[in-house]
Every structure is written in C-alpha cells, then in structure tokens.
Amino acid sequence: MNKRDSEALAACFAERGYSIQEKEQDADIILLNTCSVRDGAEHKAVGKMQMLIAQARLHKEKKIFGIMGCAAQVLGESLVHDLPGIHLVIGTHRYHRIPEYLEALLKDSSKVIVDCSGITEKPVSFQNHLLQRVSPNTIQASAFVNIMHGCNQYCTYCIVPYTRGHEFSRSIEEIVHECEALAKEGIKEIILLGQIVTNFGKREIHVSEDGKTPFVQLLDAIHEIEGIERIRFTAPHPKGYGDDLIESYQRLPKLCQSAHIPVQSGSNRILKEMHRGYTGEHFLEILSKLRNVQPSMGIATDIIVGFPGETDEDFQKTLELVRKARFDNAFLFKYSPREGTPAAKMPNQVPMRIKEERHAELMRVVNELSAEIFQQMIGKTVEVLVEGPSRRNPNRLQGRSRCNKIVLFEGDKDWIGTIRRFRITRSGQYSLYGEEVKN
C-alpha cells in the first residue's frame, strides 16, 4: 500500500515538472514513506532518515527532507526532536498538501512543517490527484489498485486502525474505470489493495440478490474487463471467505489460484484475545474448501508469535495448525507492542528470548513444509506472467505463476509483460526455475 501511495505522489510531482531520481543522493527533495506495524519498521524508518540527513550535512548539500506514512502519523511532532534537520512530517490523511508544503519549503528551508491531522476525513488517497500513476518507461505487467482505505477490525495488536483510520471504500464504477484505463495501457494483472479487502463496500453497497458480497461483485466487474488476464488481491480477512468468494475461484478464470490469508495464531484462546473473529478449525475449513474448488491453490499466511499470554501450549497449537494447513509460504512475526493498542497493556507479555525461540522453531517447520511443496512442482508446467529481470541475476527473467510462485528462467527481454508457459526444472527456497514450453 505504501508502494502505491509513493507511486501516486511521484506522479503528482512529475506532473508539476519535477523529475524522479533513481539515487537518493541525486535528489533535492527526499520524502520517506514509512511503516509502523512493528517497532522494527519504525526504527528502520527513523534510522534511515537520520542517515540521509547526516550524509547531506557531510557533503554540505542543501536538501529538503520529509517523512510520510504510518510512522509519521504515529510519531508526529516528536520526529522534529528526534530528527534534527527534518523539514516536513506529514500524516496519512494529508498527502494532498505535500506538493504545496514542499514548494513553501523550497522557498524557505528554515521552516519545519508538521501536519498529521484529519484522520477521520474522507481518505485523501482517493482524491483524484492521488490516484495518479507515473507513466512507465519500462513495460509493466501488473498494477496495484487501491479499493479501500482503513480498517475497523481493531485486532488488539494492530496499529493500522489508528494510523489509517476508518474503513472507506471506493465505488465499483470508479475502480472498474481505473482498471479499464490500465488495461488499455497494456496491464495484464490487477492486484487489488486494502487492509481488509473482504470488507470492501460493506457499508456502502448491498449484498446482491444472489448472495454476493460487494467484494465478490467487484471481482465479477473486473473480470469483465477485456485485456485484464489476472486478478489478485491483498489483504483479505478469513471471515470474508464465505461461499460466494470460494465459488469465485471456480467461476472466474481470471482470478489467480492464490490467496494470502493471515491466520495469526493456531490457538483459539489467543485468536479470541487478538479479536480475530474465527477459530483455527474455521480457518482450516476455509483452506479445505478453497483446495476443493482449486487443488493447485497457493496459500500464504501471516503468523505472530509471542502475543501476550501465549503459553507453550498455545504455541504448540500454532505448530499443529501450520502442519495441517501446509502453507506455501508464511510470514512470521515476533509480537511487537504498539503504544495505544489494547494488547500492549495486556499482562503476561512474553519475553523476547521466548519469542525468538518460537520464531525460529516455527520458521523451521514452515520452511520444511514449503520446501516439500516447491519440490512437488518439479516437472509440472505452469503459466507465468513475465515481470522483468530477476533481482539477483539480471541475466535471468522472473515472473509469477498463477499460484503466486516466483519462477526464474532464461529468456528474451521482449517477453516482459507477456504470459508464457514454463516447465519447472528445479526448486529453490523461495523460487522455482523453469524452461519455456513452446506450444
């Protein structure tokens, strides 16, 4: 989501005659977009800004420094003290003022502007100027599209409802319009974005007569768009996987056979304390229904270890769930207390040493299981949307299979943006290697 916000802002600046620099040291204005979902992310952002300011000082360069995103929203005014040399601290609901503030700062760089207000206003990222995109100078295969903003779930560990505000959805018509324009530019894959996409339109749009939730109605509408060949979304909530969504995987050929469904814990007691609204059994039932309609479904998840009060027994339940779920991939986090959230004040906070032990143990199990799944892919033929050069080895290209696995292969640069078939020849830890299969 931050990536998409940054892209929109960059487009906004480009339109005003600014140019975008590849390297930080070449820029006159540096705006850092930040995350505060865990303490580590917040520290990283502040540390990075300190380093950028120090570098500019060392080289006697006059630059304008701004910090945006959730860490700016949460830390606000205090960043002015922690970051001497910062010019702008801007909250998540004030992005529309950024160009104007930066222009004022270019004229007078002795000023410091802090604006973190307006968390309950209509989210500005849906105002027209913040829906812009930088016209790509390379071929792009897929595009992120924001469909909603904020979250009302208030999971007890999570800062997002406080940094991004209440849920607010765009209209289906507006989103379809944006996707149609992207399809005309040659985009083949749409990735729908939101903190809790399965709640899309919950307040604004009625469930249809045939029982389709607004989110499924949106999937149906995007599916109709000519030129769009793949649809993905992130992040859903398990409680949004009703039969209407599960059936979509059978009904809508463009909907990719992959889902990132955060489970967070395998212990029902902890799930309740987290305010997640489902049980481990319910979660596993969703997975089996999904695999029933699409056996090749790639399923990823997020898990938190060391939530306050998590006992060894609770942790064993998580291990058990992971073994049953057989995730293709899992993102594992050590619980990080976030000030202002209910869990931060709960008794029985788990010591860091235990969090680390549980994290390592869970990682071992997750990796073992996913290695098996990756191994089983060898010899199979998959459809891949070619994205661009591989990050590690620029002589190779990379793309994603419909089940969301990274596939690496040798090929021609003009394959980028096309859909091709590959036979998997070997597997790595997080990726597969393939050879093109010609029809």
CB of 161 to ligand SAH, least distance (A): 10
Question: Which partner, ligand SAH, ligand SF4, none, binds residue 161 by CB below 5 to 8 Å per kind?
Answer: ligand SF4
Fill in the DSSP letter of residue 106.
H
CB of 238 to ligand SAH, least distance (A): 10
Structure tokens at 240: 């949004």
Distance, CA of 257 to CA of 227 (rounded, Å): 19
168 binds ligand SAH (CB under 6 A): no
CB of 363 to ligand SAH, least distance (A): 14
Question: Which partner, ligand SAH, ligand SF4, none, binds residue 207 by CB below 5 to 8 Å per kind?
Answer: none
41 binds ligand SAH (CB under 6 A): no
Distance, CA of 343 to CA of 154 (rounded, Å): 11
Question: Which partner, ligand SAH, ligand SF4, none, binds residue 154 by CB below 5 to 8 Å per kind?
Answer: ligand SF4
37 binds ligand SAH (CB under 6 A): yes
Distance, CA of 296 to CA of 257 (rounded, Å): 7
The 3-state DSSP class for residue 175 equals: helix
| Whole-Å CA distances, 5 to 94, 95, 96, 238, 266 | 12, 9, 11, 26, 33
CB of 165 to ligand SF4, least distance (A): 11
CB 386 within 8 A of CB 410: no
The 3-state DSSP class for residue 428 equals: coil
Near ligand SAH in 254-273, by CB under 6 A = 262, 264
CB of 35 to ligand SAH, least distance (A): 9
Near ligand SAH in 191-230, by CB under 6 A = 195-196
Burial class (CB in 10 A: 0-12, 13-18, 19+), 376: exposed
400 binds ligand SAH (CB under 6 A): no
158 binds ligand SAH (CB under 6 A): yes
Near ligand SAH in 73-132, by CB under 6 A = none
β-bridge pairing 142-146 and 113-115:
unpaired
| Whole-Å CA distances, 87 to 27, 100, 112, 118, 400 | 15, 13, 5, 20, 40
Near ligand SAH in 331-350, by CB under 6 A = 333, 335-336, 338
Contact residues for ligand SF4, defined by CB under 6 A: 151, 153-155, 158, 160-161, 195-196, 237
Binding site residues, ligand SAH, CB under 6 A = 37-38, 157-158, 160, 195-196, 235, 262, 264, 302, 304, 333, 335-336, 338
